């Protein structure tokens, strides 16, 4: 087994998600993940504390990007316009690697209740980052919470469409799909009154 290869973290994530989908989360060990990635167990533990942490890989970066986008929105931006700026910033940073992970992540999460809980916590983390950023802009808590939740839903919808294997080879940019989802949700929310 080689001692070093590039992209170790990415290879560990792909190996883990593949194994979770193939044989289940509970039946997958760190040793199997390391072997599939052609890395050592010690390399695994340099990147992740345990196999659960693989599902939250990138969560901090995603939350930071959402907040940065909101923070950089024009001063006079409405809460929804600021959230749209956050979605644009975060979506614009997603790569083809993120797109390829979508179906693997979906299969792994659907097959395990613990992973479903972790995925829900990831959504909570995204919403919290956006609420905090909106509050820094002076937005009241209830308004910030509603705007952030719409943002989370839009990101999830856009990402699901972007990573859907049934879509054509060129699904477009994630930012475009997320923006379209956000516009759909804004229109739906306007019809609630």
Q: Is the pLDDT of residue 1 over 50?
A: no
Span(s) in the chain for CATH 1.10.357.10 = 58-190
Does the predicted TM-score (pTM) go above 0.85? no
CA-nearest of 116, 100, 12 to 54 is: 12
Class of domain 58-190: mainly alpha
Fold topology of 8-54: Arc Repressor Mutant, subunit A (1.10.10)
pLDDT tens track for 4-34:
556 888 899 999 988 988 888 889 999 999 9
Q: Could you tell me how far CA 24 lies from the centroid of its own chain? A: 21
pLDDT tens track for 82-131:
999 999 999 998 888 888 888 888 888 888 888 788 788 888 999 999 99
HSE (CB half, 13 Å, CA atoms) of 101? Answer: 21
User: How many whole angstroms separate alpha carbon 152 and alpha carbon 167?
Assistant: 22
């Amino acid at each position: 087994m080689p001692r070093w290869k590039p992209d170790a973290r990415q290879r560990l994530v792909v190996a883990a998600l593949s194994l979770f989908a193939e044989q289940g989360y509970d039946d997958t060990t760190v040793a199997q993940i390391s072997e599939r990635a052609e890395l050592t167990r010690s390399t695994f533990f340099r990147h992740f504390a345990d196999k659960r942490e693989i599902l939250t890989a990138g969560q901090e970066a995603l939350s930071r990007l959402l907040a940065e986008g909101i923070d950089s929105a024009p001063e006079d931006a409405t809460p929804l316009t600021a959230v749209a700026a956050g979605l644009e910033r975060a979506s614009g940073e997603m790569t083809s690697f993120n797109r390829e992970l979508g179906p693997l992540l979906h299969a792994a999460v659907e097959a395990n209740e613990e992973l479903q809980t972790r995925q829900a916590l990831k959504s909570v983390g995204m919403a919290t980052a956006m609420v905090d950023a909106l509050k820094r802009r002076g937005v009241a808590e209830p308004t910030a919470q509603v705007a952030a939740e719409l943002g989370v839903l839009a990101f999830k919808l856009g990402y699901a469409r972007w990573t859907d294997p049934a879509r054509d080879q060129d699904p477009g940019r994630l930012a475009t799909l997320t923006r379209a989802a956000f516009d759909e949700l804004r229109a739906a929310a306007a019809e609630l009154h």
